[in-house]
């Protein structure tokens, strides 16, 4: 049995967008919608654009705080790998049922993510194979992040038949919610 995540179809859709040289630039769980058939859709293409052939043409802080890649936060040139970073944060959020950095201001997140390599803490109960995918997606270097089609492969190969390496934790599922948003 392999890992089935509600986000698996969004990975395929992001992989397709990237194959068409489109960068979403605002990948976050709020932009992943389920219809009544439980088909996952990617929404909000308001800031999406065709990937620039010259990386210097894509700069500027575009996206949502907490999901933005270090290169975006720093105003450096970026490409489709910023979506991979954001997707790694989404994986963490879906697994943990929590938002990244809810108590930090924009400047605190920017400083911590860019200069101190701050990333969300992966819980001990998270299967190491899933935690490793998250870490690869949110690597500080865009060149070291996998392409979205590789993320699909990595997630499809996680064996959950014996719990996927999960250990018991104090919290039960997603029943423990903290206040979301600002």
Among candidates 97, 102, 93, 101, which has minimal Cα distance to 118? 101
For the chain, report the end-to-end CA distance as a whole number of angstroms: 39
Tell me the three state secondary structure of residue 182: coil
Count how many Cα atoms sit within 13 Å of the Cα of residue 45 in the half-sphere of its side chain.
Answer: 9
Phi, psi of 145 (to 5 degrees): -75, 145
Catalytic: which of 26, 83, 98, 139? Answer: 26
Number of alpha helices (DSSP H) and beta strands (DSSP E) in the chain: 6, 4
Distance CA 95, CA 75 (A): 29
139 is catalytic: no
Catalytic residue set: 26
């Amino acid at each position: 049995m392999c890992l089935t995540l509600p986000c698996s179809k969004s990975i395929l859709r992001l992989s397709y967008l990237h194959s068409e040289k489109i960068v979403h630039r605002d990948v976050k769980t709020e932009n992943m919608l389920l219809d009544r058939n439980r088909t996952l859709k990617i929404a909000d293409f308001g800031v999406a654009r065709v990937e620039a052939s010259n990386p210097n043409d894509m700069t500027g802080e575009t996206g949502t705080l907490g999901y933005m890649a270090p290169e975006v936060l720093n105003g450096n040139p970026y490409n489709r790998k910023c979506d991979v970073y954001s997707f790694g944060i989404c994986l963490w959020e879906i697994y943990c049922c929590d938002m990244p950095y809810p108590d930090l201001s924009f400047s605190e997140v920017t400083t911590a993510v860019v200069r101190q390599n701050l990333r969300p803490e992966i819980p001990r109960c998270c299967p190491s194979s899933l935690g490793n995918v998250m870490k690869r997606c949110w690597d500080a270097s865009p060149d070291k992040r996998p392409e979205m089609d590789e993320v699909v492969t990595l997630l499809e190969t996680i064996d959950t038949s014996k719990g996927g390496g999960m250990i018991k934790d104090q919290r039960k599922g997603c029943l423990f919610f903290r206040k979301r948003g600002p």
